[in-house]
Amino acid sequence: MTLDSWADETLAGIHARGTYRRMRVLDGAQGPRMRMAEREVVLFAGSNYLDLAHHPAVVQASIEAAQQQGCAAGGSRLISGNLVEHEALEAELAAFFGREAGLTFNTGYMANVGVIPALLRPGDLLVSDALSHASIIDGARLSRAEVSVFRHNDIDQLETILAAPRPQGQRVLVAIDGLYSMDGDLAPAGLITELAHRHGAAVLLDDAHGTGTLGARGRGSAEVAGVMGKVDILMGTLGKSLGSFGAFVVGSHKLRELLVNTARSFIFSCALAPPQVAAARAALALIDTEPERRHALQAGATRLRSRLAEHGIDTAPSTTHIVPVVIGSNAATMKACEALLERGFYAQGIRHPSVPEGTARLRITPMASHRPEEIDAMADATAELLGKFSGEAPPPPSQTL
């Protein structure tokens, strides 16, 4: 059949590049220990960083919502699916970040591919960090705006791009991740926001991984950088540290009004289901009432990075709970990942196109509830296997795509 031969042709290329992907099947509640192929693994690959997905208050809220409102919103937000609870969650998100308004999306991916084309038209300009998430790139493609990419966290290059003469009326949006999802470093969001505003550009900060986990009050990388009230669009996800599913943006009332009217991924998609909304609301409250979770997460991440450093493993540029161990070759990375699994640890091997070519890596993400001895054992196993499979000192993470 033609379609299968198309698939064979494409898949052969993927195999040849060493980037073939397959899904691993996990069993049990999302947490620091799960089952895979009938064995217990210690999970260092998830984004349920604060272990809220299985928190009793989050689960209970979700159960009650399912019992009282059912399992589906039953429509898009603009056609019968807009429930009191969606509006409440959005008001709570806006208050959480000290912004005027919030709007939920079904995923972070859908937020970025909806927001960017809602703001930019063909001929406008999206300026993006070289390591920005794929959803920012895809949002830019959908907008048909021009795209200009600056080297990762390179403020000087960003300034050169922003200072260049541009057509009158051209809208410029600078889109960055707050916390880079494959390197674990932070954007200099304060400098970038100041620079962008000085040049008449708006800023979209994607804080998928920082929300709930970073900052004195868990408001994320925007809080760390002091730009929570300054970035024009602050985006975060509900499916990672907030233990539910979905995503949101917060900003001005005008931004919300614009998105409700123009963001296609918002308009043409079913609304988040009541149990997801209720779980997210419960989790958001826990960010304030259980700060010890983010403290434990960051203490565990620091412990992991320093144990790896004691073994001579460089985890730069990470300063957070996303800890990359760059190996370089695709094959060696996947062998190390498999060998770790044999020892009962799951840290995913990450290859191009998730990271630049030649910088394949183990991406190790601790959780608030990992025990110190699990973190130490993970570091020891990684060190042992790296010696076996890398064959060479890991190259530094690439600065360009």
Binding-site member from 32, 46, 102, 108 for ligand PLP (CB under 6 A): 108
Each residue 333-372 as x (binds ligand PLP by CB under 6 A) or -, in order, gives ----------------------------------------
Looking at residues 40 to 99 of the shown chain, list those that interact with ligand PLP (rule: CB under 6 A).
Answer: none
Q: For tokens 């983010």, name the residue.
A: 294
Residue placing its CB nearer to ligand PLP in the complex, 280 or 375: 280
| Span interacting with ligand PLP, options 9-17, 48-56, 205-213, 355-363, rule CB under 6 A | 205-213
Binding-site member from 96, 109, 150, 389 for ligand PLP (CB under 6 A): 109
Work out how close the CB of 112 gets to ligand PLP at its nearest, in angstroms, rounded to a whole number: 6
What does DSSP say about strands 360-364 and 323-328: parallel, antiparallel, or unpaired?
Answer: antiparallel
Distance CA 127, CA 41 (A): 41
Burial of 268 per CB tally in 10 Å (0-12, 13-18, 19+): exposed
Burial of 220 per CB tally in 10 Å (0-12, 13-18, 19+): buried
Distance CA 347, CA 51 (A): 17
Looking at residues 246 to 275 of the shown chain, list those that interact with ligand PLP (rule: CB under 6 A).
Answer: 247
**240 is annotated as an active-site residue:** yes
The residue count for binding ligand PLP (CB under 6 A) is 13
Alpha helices, H only, 290-349: 292-310, 330-342
**181 is annotated as an active-site residue:** yes
> Which entry of 128, 181, 265, 329 is annotated as an active-site residue?
181
> Which entry of 55, 133, 152, 209 is annotated as an active-site residue?
209
Residue placing its CB nearer to ligand PLP in the complex, 152 or 307: 152
Work out how close the CB of 239 gets to ligand PLP at its nearest, in angstroms, rounded to a whole number: 5
Closest CA to 337 of 281, 287, 378: 378
- Kindly state the helix (H) or strand (E) to which residue 184 belongs, with its residue range: none
> Which entry of 55, 133, 152, 240 is annotated as an active-site residue?
240
Structure tokens at 36: 């895979």
Q: How many CB atoms neighbour CB 292 within 10 A?
A: 11
Instruction: Determine if 206 is a binding residue for ligand PLP (CB under 6 A).
Output: yes
Looking at residues 226 to 245 of the shown chain, list those that interact with ligand PLP (rule: CB under 6 A).
Answer: 237, 239
Instruction: Determine if 211 is a binding residue for ligand PLP (CB under 6 A).
Output: no
Looking at residues 120 to 149 of the shown chain, list those that interact with ligand PLP (rule: CB under 6 A).
Answer: 133, 135
Backbone angles phi, psi at 105, to 5 degrees: -125, 170
> Residue 362 forms beta bridges with which residues?
325, 349
Q: Supply the DSSP string of 35-83, one letter for each residue.
A: EETTEEEEE-S-S-TTS-TT-HHHHHHHHHHHHHH-S---SBTTTT---
Distance CA 397, CA 130 (A): 12
Q: Is 199 helix (H, G, I), strand (E, B) or coil?
A: coil
| Span interacting with ligand PLP, options 185-193, 206-214, 262-270, 301-309, rule CB under 6 A | 206-214
Nearest residue to ligand PLP, by Cβ distance, number only: 108
Instruction: Determine if 177 is a binding residue for ligand PLP (CB under 6 A).
Output: yes
Binding site for ligand PLP (CB under 6 A): 107-109, 133, 135, 177, 181, 206, 208-209, 237, 239, 247
Catalytic residues: 181, 209, 240
